[in-house]
Amino acid sequence: MSDPIIIMLIGMSIVVGGIIKFKLHPVLSLLLAAIAVALLTPMASVEQFFIAKGGLEADALKAAHKSIGERIGIEFGNTCAKIGILIAMAAIIGKAMLDSGAAEKIIRAMLKITGEKNAPIGFILSSFFLTIPVFVDTVIFLMMPLAKAMGMRLKKNYLLLALSVIAGAVMANSYVPPSPGPLYLITAMNVPIGLMMVCGSLLGLCTITIGYFIAVYLNKKFDTPLRDSPDARLEDIKAIAEKDDKELPALGWALLPALFPLVTICIRSGVEAFHKSDGPLTSFPVVNSLIDLVLFFGDKNIAILMGAIFALVVLARQKKTTKEKLSAFVGTALMSGGGIILITAAGGAFGGMLQQTGISSRIADLTKDYQMALIPLAFFITMVVRTAQGSATVALITASGILAGMAQNANLGFHPVYLCLAIGSGAKLIPWMNDAGFWIMCKTSNLTEQEALKTIAPMQSLMGLAGVILTMIAAWIFPMV
């Protein structure tokens, strides 16, 4: 019973059974599963987990011997710390952009460029390139309201639009630095950042093309409607879609709530990726002060907060609403965002408890003597760890830790960048309830859990599988050694 794999299977059964069979709210199912996993995990495994994280052994042992409730609460809180402000402010931005007509204005501008037929292609390319410098969840938060507005305008293909946003975002997050995962990989594998950016972009564009056709198929197979939600009522979206262009905000104002956080986060990400020293960027104090100001606003939490403020300014200008109505509006948006925060944090708590079982080390032990070509091995290890405990980052770290020594072997036969791409591909399989990102994608798109498991999960998994196959072909044709 103390085997991490058996504990993981019990946890999975509680989550899936609770949500699908007993119709429990996801927060309850995830927390019950987290408690069960924590109860079944031997204290020795918990101690080993905290010691392996580094720091003083006494501190690690102290953390390991906290009560189960405390450990679940800490993991819950850690997830909130990462995404709480982002989700809350993104909920305000999304609702404000829909209600003010800003989303509709952007949609009309996009349709002039792409045409209605190619609108999903515009969405998938936009989300891919925006996610390269920007936190993946931020892009999904900002683009999903546009998908809802476009779905209402086209009166069809909402699932295709939502999946296009997700497909572009998740693949850039796996392949192209300065996204955090790829940035960690190139450090562990000693791969030049420029080479990873080029190879990751090429592979990413190939996989999102495959993802697009998968999304087209799923859109035809599943009749998924655009649903009412507290932050996006269908009658409100429809009323805005029927407005004259003169009644909508100017395009510059419409873009500001999304563009400000995207631009400032991009600048900060670029500086952090390429400027490693602590010294000033230039020899001009005024320019340095200006850059410092931009970098301050480029922090993802501050950037998204400013985006929310700009969105409310646009709403107030457009509707000339009172302070009382604006306050009530913010309250409604935050109630919607609060539900997503709770579900996502519960998913993080469940994933955290799974990690404390030692599941990553167990999988590493099972695969260390597995005689298989390195590229599919890298993919396999990452896939199993990601599926088992939910965190793509933990999966990346585990796989790179096992393979880093081999990657720097002079007799490897191909450039280690291909191992990075294989690991990135494996991190896409298989998203389900133990992954905080799964809940963000599920709830922002208003898909049910079953719909997400039938659409988002297979699309991501097939894109990851296509990624490793293309990586193997490229390594064979262009080994770069």
The tens digit of pLDDT for each residue in 221-259 reads: 988 887 766 655 666 666 766 777 778 888 889 888 878
Q: Are 467 and 424 in contact (CB under 8 A)?
A: yes
57-61, 365-369, 464-468, 469-473: the lowest-pLDDT one: 365-369
Coil/strand/helix, residue 229: strand
329: left (phi over 0), alpha (psi -120 to 50) or beta: alpha
Residue 197 lies in a domain: yes
Residue 372 lies in a domain: no
Mean pLDDT of 62-84: 88
State the residue range of the domain holding 90. Answer: 81-341
Give 386-414 pLDDT, tens digit per residue: 887 676 766 776 677 667 656 655 566 78
Residue 377 lies in a domain: no
pLDDT at position 470 is 95
pTM of the model: 0.72
Closest CA to 87 of 348, 324, 317: 348
Across the chain, mean pLDDT equals: 82
Angle at 273 between CA 418 and CA 444, to 5 degrees: 80
**How many domains is the chain built from?**
1
Mean pLDDT of 338-357: 81
pLDDT tier at 13, thresholds 50, 70, 90: confident
pLDDT tier at 38, thresholds 50, 70, 90: very high
pLDDT tier at 21, thresholds 50, 70, 90: confident
Closest CA to 270 of 129, 172, 133, 136: 133
Residue 304 lies in a domain: yes
Residue 293 lies in a domain: yes
Residue 203 lies in a domain: yes
Q: Are 164 and 215 in contact (CB under 8 A)?
A: yes
Residue 265 lies in a domain: yes
21-25, 274-278, 308-312: the lowest-pLDDT one: 274-278
